[in-house]
Chain A
Amino acid sequence: GENVEQHPSTLSVQEGDSAVIKCTYSDSASNYFPWYKQELGKGPQLIIDIRSNVGEKKDQRIAVTLNKTAKHFSLHITETQPEDSAVYFCAASEDFGNEKLTFGTGTRLTIIP
């Protein structure tokens, strides 16, 4: 089955700086890669996703890049703000049939004011 590894497990950045979180996956059949943000006591919230037919996707301060050859994808957050503090999870799945998500272990991001 799929295995997703995520690094780092914790990340602290100064407000206004950029944050990068990296994930690798094992199953070459995976072609859908969402990122979720989870705040304390809440369910995961989708913030951005990418499919294997593109290498990069941006949404305002958030971007995701995908390297299918190397089987890794990354989340980039620019101009970080205190409200970006949360746990971020990457995930991978196949885009056909059962699209069950396999999640990474999470990155606790802390923005230092």
Chain B
Amino acid sequence: DTGVSQDPRHKITKRGQNVTFRCDPISEHNRLYWYRQTLGQGPEFLTYFQNEAQLEKSRLLSDRFSAERPKGSFSTLEIQRTEQGDSAMYLCASSLRLVGTDTQYFGPGTRLTVL
């Protein structure tokens, strides 16, 4: 399977703990996006990378959130001191940015539950 993969698929944690999620994009895709999806809503943009550079962060991404893409391939999203409001599905998408096209392909997501 050469699609976007995410790990873990599910994470249950206690409030105040730190969690880290991983996303592996489609090979050679130069853009990687993180979105958050709460129950009954559409995905909301969090941040994106072009290669290893983080180019934009949403105001939804508080100081407790940090994302990296150190070698321009996989990415990690860390949430420190988790809160119950962080419970959501965290989706990763990747795309190959060429002139006039940027179709985003999504992974299966990581469902986070904060108790």
Contacts and interface: CB of A to CB of B under 8 A. Distances in A.
Interface of A: 4, 6, 32, 34, 36, 41-46, 49, 89, 91, 93, 95, 98-106
Among B6, B31, B42, B44, the most chain A Cβ lie within 10 Å of the Cβ of B42
Task: Report, nearest first, the 4 A-B pairs whose CB atoms are least far apart.
Answer: A103-B42, A43-B106, A100-B45, A99-B102
B107 A43 contact: yes
Interface of B: 4, 6, 31, 33, 35, 40-45, 48, 55-56, 91, 95, 97, 100, 102-109
Contacts of A6: 42
Contacts of B102: 32, 93, 95, 99
B91 A44 contact: yes
B40 A106 contact: yes
Contact of B45 (A43, A101, A105): A101
